[in-house]
Structure 1
């Protein structure tokens, strides 16, 4: 079977919403075919009809009637096509991606100034390494709505939850160590994120919290804030970032004491809210963690492209009105 493509000006014939309406096309023929009632008198008597017809002439009347009937037939056909609702398929439209409603909480306390991370064969501060990894993470979250908050002694929202990830990235770049104080208020950061996520759709509320220390400031205890997050359906993923307290001397790694990050509390926060806890001791591990977060909280793929149907019944309807008007005017012109 060979597919025939219609020319552009006939593209409205590609589809009919109510094709059964075309069954009305032969109705005038059926009316003509009905037998006339015996002895039925004309519905309208015109005493001067004979004189009027004689003044027009037989040829003129016949031609006028034939053209008028043709116009009426075309008008009826156009009206039936309009009733069938011809439709044209529009350009394909891809529905927007349905992603997560996500808050990023980044620790900017004084300890994030430590120069113990490598980035491009260069020693950098912890916050600089975190910025680079988070910026790359944001580049792959198209479809998500992301908000950014920073915390130290206090927690502050830098950007509300938004689909404008460029603004989030710019605000992250401008963040500096000590901007929110030198201590660490993990509980307040979680509570503020829960407040921002509370109005978002259920099942999509996600908080990713990155810190390199122990909560030693703020009003709310971290586990109490985790309970609030659980009650509001917010999944919290915690990322403990920074060195393990060891240092190198004469080419040897020497332990300096306990790990400065409170991994136990961060793990309990994640377990309580249905998230996961991660530990990153260098930039490579941090990048791997955010790759794992992409797998755990994937951006929903865009739905299949759809083509909207555009109504085109107005064209045949206008044509039917035009032809009907011509059929009405034609006898007067011949007169």
Structure 2
């Protein structure tokens, strides 16, 4: 299909006619008159030289064609093909999930029924993973030590299955937040993606491992990795609520460290004290780090302006050559008459 980039330019097509119709004619300069007895024969000779090859109507048609072709070229015609899908580059996003013993506490609720922290976290995180179309996702599980459960992959189904298989105590009963960040930095640092993100969720304080969380966050910042931290656990003063702000939390939750880790890397810290609050946290992260790898469509385009432009050049060249040929014919005729 042919489209015009500047279709309004076509409105200039009648400009020559309007100029001929409404602009005043140039005044003729009249000098002294001289009667020439063979005037008719001279005019006939001139007409034969100038318009012999290109008749009057042919010259007018050539001028109209040249003008029209130039206007069409200025309108930027192009051929546009059918839409074609292309993949775009998404983010490298690593999830780090706390499997320490405190995740067994049943201080969340679904339909007014108590449920343990790990079960609700797995359900909400799995939904988050399913919506990250086009991103490369990975999963780190940490307790006393940190383990890479799933390397970065675009297979969201596999990441979801690994989440389902996560069990309490699988990585130990303590909490090695610094080691989890360090492992994520190592894996994400090997990638060349422009957007590299770690989402770390914990309900406690770092009390195991060899890496200090703040020091690990510095390494993440140097590697260009943003970290979003989530502290979970029902408020000891008021069960429920959205819980995006700090509400006091459990006694073991180290909110200050989680907040400093996020701020050091340019991320954000969130506090979730209920099921609805945790869902909202992941929704907020999805807004802050939108999936850019969703399939997009483009339509191939090829410019066609050179075709009418070339036609205008050819017609203009023909008119110029006809004019030059006429002038040379007049001079040759005049030379013979001497």
For the aligned pair, the TM-score class normalised by the smaller chain equals: 0.5 to 0.7
Question: Pick from 194, 199, 204: which aligns with 2:185?
Answer: 194
Question: Pick from 212, 216, 229: which aligns with 1:221?
Answer: 212
RMSD over aligned Cα atoms? 2.5
Structure 2 residue aligned with 1:126: 117
- 1:298 is aligned to 2:298: no
Secondary structure of 1:290's aligned partner: helix
Secondary structure of 2:174's aligned partner: coil
CA offsets, 1:44-99, max 9 Å, x none?
Answer: xxxxxxxxxxxxxxxxxxxxxxxxxxxxxxxxxxxxxxxxxxxx998643111422
Secondary structure of 2:278's aligned partner: helix
- 1:278 is aligned to 2:242: no
CA contact (8 A) 2:80 2:299 kept: no
- Displacement of 1:138 in angstroms is 1.1
State the distance in 2 between where 1:306 and 1:119 align: 47
State the distance in 2 between where 1:280 and 1:234 align: 23
- 1:168 is aligned to 2:159: yes
Runs (5+) with no aligned partner, structure 1: 1-87, 249-254, 310-335
C-alpha spacing 1:239/1:91, structure 2 compared with 1 (3 Å): same
Runs (5+) with no aligned partner, structure 2: 1-78, 240-246, 303-338
C-alpha spacing 1:307/1:171, structure 2 compared with 1 (3 Å): same
- Displacement of 1:115 in angstroms is 0.9
CA contact (8 A) 2:234 2:249 kept: no
TM-score (norm: length of structure 2): 0.60
1:16-55 mapped onto 2 (5 Å cutoff): none
TM-score (norm: length of structure 1): 0.60
1:176-187 mapped onto 2 (5 Å cutoff): 176-187=167-178
State the distance in 2 between where 1:207 and 1:297 align: 11
Structure 1 residue aligned with 2:147: 156
CA contact (8 A) 1:92 1:308 kept: no
CA contact (8 A) 1:91 1:308 kept: no
Structure 2 residue aligned with 1:212: 203
